[in-house]
Amino acid sequence: MPKPVLLLTRQLPPAIEARAARDYALVSNPTDEPWYKDGAEIARRAAQGGHGGAAGILIAAGDPFNAATIAALPASVRILSTFSVGTDHIDLKAAAARNILVANTPDVLSFATAEIAFTLLLMAARRAGEGERMVRAGNWAGWAPTQLMGVTLQGKRLGILGYGRIGREMGAMAKGFGMELHYRNNRRLAPELENGALYHDSDAGFLGAIDVLSMHIPGGAATAKWLNAERIGQMRQGAIVINTGRGSTVDDEALIAALTTGRIRAAGLDVFDGEPRVHPGYLGLENVALLPHLGSATIETRDRMGHLALDNLDAVLLRGEAPPALVG
C-alpha cells in the first residue's frame, strides 16, 4: 500500500516531522514559508504528492481555512487536523458540507496556556514589563520606596471567563497565590470541577465582583468584542484584564481607552484581533504586557500537540477509525 499523502502547512517540531515522514508521503513546509497564509496556494499544494492529492492536511492556528479555501481543496482531502485547540480559523460548516472531518488538540496545552495567562497576570499586577523596559533602557536610577508599585494577587478575586480546561488550570494556580476564584461559564460545573470557585449567572454580577478578569473563551461570531465599553463599565475601578483566548473577543478601542484613563489598571494580552497585527494603541501604553501568542509554546506541549494531531490523522487515514479529538 502506498503511504497516504499528507500536506503539512507549517514547520513542526523535529519529532513530529519525523513521525509524519515515517507514515505519510509528505508535502511539507520545512522553512515555514508564508504560503500557508494564502488559501489558494494551500489548495494548490494539497493537489500535489500524487494519488490525486493529499488525503489529510495538518494545519495550524491562523491558516485561512475559510469557505473559499475549503471549496478549492481537491476531492482527495478527508481530514483537516489542526495543531491547535482553537478552530476559529476553520469554516466548520464548509468542511462538513464537503464531508471533510476536522480534529484538534484539546487538553494537552491547557497547563502551558494557563502558565502564560499567569505570567501575564503577574506582569500586569507587578508592572514587570515596565520594570524590564526601564532597566534595559538604562533608566534605572536605583531602588526607591515608591518606585513601580504594583498590586499583590494575594486575597484578590480572580474572575475566570470560560471555566473549561485552561480556565480551571489557571484557577488551580491562582489558589496557590491565595486568590479567591469566581467564574462565568455557559453552564454551572459539577462541584468537583469547580475547585471552590463561585459561579455567576450574569455578566454584570460577575464583572462587578472581581479584581481580575482572565478570558478563556473561543473566538468566532458569538464572542466577538465580548469585552466592550459596556462590560468594562461594569468592572471595578482599577481591575486587571488578561486575555489568552482569542483577540477577537476584546473591543480594542474600548480596552485602550480604559487603560489610558486607568479605569482598567493594567492588562496582559497574548492574543490579538487580526494578529500578527497589534492595535497600535497598545504599543505606547506602559500598563499593558504584550506577548506573541505564546500560550502553548513549550517544547513539551508542542510535541504533545503534534502527536495528538498525528493520532487524529492516523485514526482516519491509516486505520479507518474516528479521530480521537474529532471536532463537532
Site residues (vs ligand DGY, CB under 6 A): 61, 84-86, 109, 295-296
Nearer to ligand DGY, 159 or 295 (CB): 295
Beta carbons of 289 and 268 less than 8 angstroms apart = yes
Does residue 200 have an active-site annotation?
A: no
- Please check whether residue 56 is in contact with residue 77, taking contact to mean a CB–CB distance below 8 angstroms: yes
Which 3 state secondary structure label does DSSP give 170?
helix
Which C-beta is closer to ligand DGY: that of 248 or that of 287? Answer: 248
- Alpha helix locations (H) across the chain? 14-23, 39-46, 67-72, 92-97, 110-126, 128-136, 165-176, 191-194, 203-209, 229-233, 252-261, 280-283, 299-317
Identify the bridge partners of residue 199 per DSSP, sorted by sequence position: 183
Q: Which of 17, 130, 180, 275 does the annotation list as catalytic? A: 275
**Residue 56, H or E segment:** strand 56-60
Q: Which residue is nearest to ligand DGY (CB)?
A: 86
Instruction: Identify which of residues 200 and 216 has a Cβ nearer to ligand DGY in the complex.
Output: 216
**CA–CA distance, 106 with 117 (Å, rounded to integer):** 17
Comparison of 42 and 327: residue with beta carbon closer to ligand DGY? 327
Q: Other C-beta atoms within 10 Å of 163: how many?
A: 25
Q: Of the two residues 258 and 327, which places its CB atom closer to ligand DGY in the complex?
A: 327
Q: Which residues contact 295 (CB under 8 A, 6 or more apart)?
A: 109, 112, 113, 116, 117, 244, 270, 271
Query: CB of residue 250 vs ligand DGY: minimum separation in angstroms?
Result: 15
In the complex, the smallest distance separating the C-beta of residue 235 from ligand DGY, rounded to whole angstroms, is: 25
Q: Give the Cα-Cα-Cα angle 276, 277, 278 (nearest 5 degrees).
A: 110
Closest approach of ligand DGY to the CB of residue 81, in Å: 13
Is 293 among the catalytic positions? yes
Residue in 246, 265, 302, 304 annotated catalytic: 246
Minimum distance from CB of 154 to ligand DGY (Å)?
30
Active site (annotated) includes residue 246: yes
Torsion over CA of 300, 306, 311 and 317, rounded to 10 degrees? -170
Question: Measured from the CB of residue 103, what is the shortest distance to ligand DGY in angstroms?
Answer: 13
Q: How far is the CB of 84 from ligand DGY (least distance, A)?
A: 3
The number of residues in the chain equals 328
User: Which DSSP letter does residue 33 get?
Assistant: -
Q: Which is nearer to ligand DGY, 39 or 86 (CB)?
A: 86
User: Dihedrals φ, ψ of 155, to 5°?
Assistant: 80, -5
Among residues 200, 293, 302, 304, the one annotated as catalytic is 293
Q: Which residues are catalytic?
A: 246, 275, 293
